Structure 1
Amino acid sequence: MQTLIDTLSIIVHSGKVCNHTSTEKPFYCDLCGKKFSRKDHMRDHIRSVHMKEGVRCSHCSRSFATKSSLKRHKIQHSKKNVLSKAKYRCDLCSKKYADKRQLRDHLNKHYNL
């Protein structure tokens, strides 16, 4: 049975530890020179910017290198859609809400309730 220390030793030895504070960017795009800290980020960049491959948004036709990037982007479209259908507006700050409960909860924040 492996212990946590054994697992960490394997990860460190294999070089798979992610250093979020590193400013080193050893990978660069041959087409535009942009630098990247990770090879997979460089590949995503090349795919989405230079090759126009990847996945397209059905709402606005923007292209994304990964499905997860597209999913994050689509949330913005759904937020805009919800706000356009909002019927309840706060008289104090003009924010809009889709239902009365959301507006009531919002008003409680204005009045510190």
Structure 2
Amino acid sequence: MGEKTYQCSQCGKRIDTREAPYHCSNCRNTFELRYLKEQKRVDKSEKVYPCSQCGKSFTELGSLKRHERIHTGGKPFHCTQCGNNFTCLRNLKSHERIHTGGKAFHCSQCGKGLSCLQTMKVHERLHTGEKPYNCCQCGKRFISLGTLKKHEIIHTGEKPYNCTECGKHFAQSGHLKRHERTHTGEKPYNCSHCGKGFAAPGCLKKHERTHTGEKFYQCSMCLKDIYSLREQEKA
């Protein structure tokens, strides 16, 4: 009962003081005890750290710090293989398996290999049709919390991702990243036929059809490009 807990001075995560030197698994820093901030134990249900941007509260400072990166776009964890950046160490570790080929989990339905258990669970819902997350605004259901969160922005109009170059705001981080390429000139998607580079995968797909000869149609209702007549009939 008299056990003390300490907090990483860099990211706020609680540190296990049974290990010496004291290692923070969140930000990879190592400390001596005198550099750690003593922290009183709090009830796990008590959320004492509020976000100054949106008001959402958290039980730990480290959780708040990770959340704040949604608003700031901060991605301090860097992949040494491809240069991609991530908001937390867990996402980086999961991503790194793409390079190592590590796919420890396999779908029981189709055998597809996946790098982490949570990704496999979401994938399996494609087979079962399970959609456990529902929008409280319109009732639409989704297979993952992430897709629900993206959908909810339609109702709130929230645009938490802003471009540091021009200040333009976006509803999704992917949209911000695509926009940022208009400033940097980066074109990471290359055509396998001619090598031409594109800023977005959709632009690459449309270009590749100039090589394959596949036609695309335009929906008469919404003007969206559709790449097969069958899709147009469904629309």
- Which TM class, normalised by the smaller chain length? 0.5 to 0.7
- SS of residue matched to 1:32: coil
Per the alignment, in what secondary structure is the counterpart of residue 46 of structure 1? Answer: helix
Map of 2:63 onto structure 1:
16
> Equivalent residue for 2:101?
52
Closer, same or farther: CA 60–51 of 1 in aligned 2, 3 Å: farther
Q: Flag as ranges the 4+ runs of structure 1 deviating above 6 A.
A: none
How many residue pairs get aligned? The number is 75
Show the 5 A alignment for 1:1-113. Answer: 4=46, 8=49, 11-12=60-61, 15-17=62-64, 18-19=67-68, 20-47=70-97, 49-53=98-102, 54-79=104-129
Structure 2 CA distance for aligned equivalents of residues 58 and 52 of structure 1: 19
**How does the TM-score come out when normalised to structure 1?**
0.52
- Structure 1 unaligned segments of length 5 or more: list them: 80-113
Identity %, equivalent residues:
23
Question: Structure 1 residues 78 and 16 mapped into 2: Cα distance closer, same or farther (>3 Å)?
Answer: closer
Q: Which has the higher helix share?
A: 1
Residue identity in the other structure for 1:52 = G
Deviations 1:30-69 (A, max 9, x none): 111111111110000112x112222122444432222111
How large is the RMSD of aligned CA atoms in angstroms? Answer: 2.8
Choose between structure 1 and 2 for higher RCO, CA contacts under 8 A separated by at least 6 residues. 1
Task: Kindly indicate whether the alpha-carbon contact (under 8 Å) linking 1:55 and 1:65 is maintained by their aligned counterparts in 2.
Answer: yes
Cα 1:2–1:76, aligned 2, differ >3 Å: closer, same or farther? closer
Whichever residue aligns with residue 65 of structure 1, its letter is S
**Cα 1:59–1:16, aligned 2, differ >3 Å: closer, same or farther?**
same
Higher strand share: 2
Distance 2:79 2:113 in 1: 18
Q: Which amino acid is the alignment partner of residue 91 of structure 2?
A: H
Q: Which runs of 5+ in 2 are unaligned?
A: 1-40, 51-58, 130-235
**CA separation in 2, counterparts of 1:75 and 1:33?**
31
CA distance in 2, matches of 1:2, 1:71: 32
Q: Deviations over 1:15-41 (max 9, x none)?
A: 332323230111111111111111110
Contact 1:55–1:66 (CA under 8 A) maintained in structure 2: yes
Q: TM-score, normalised by structure 2?
A: 0.28
Counterpart of 1:50, as a letter, is: H
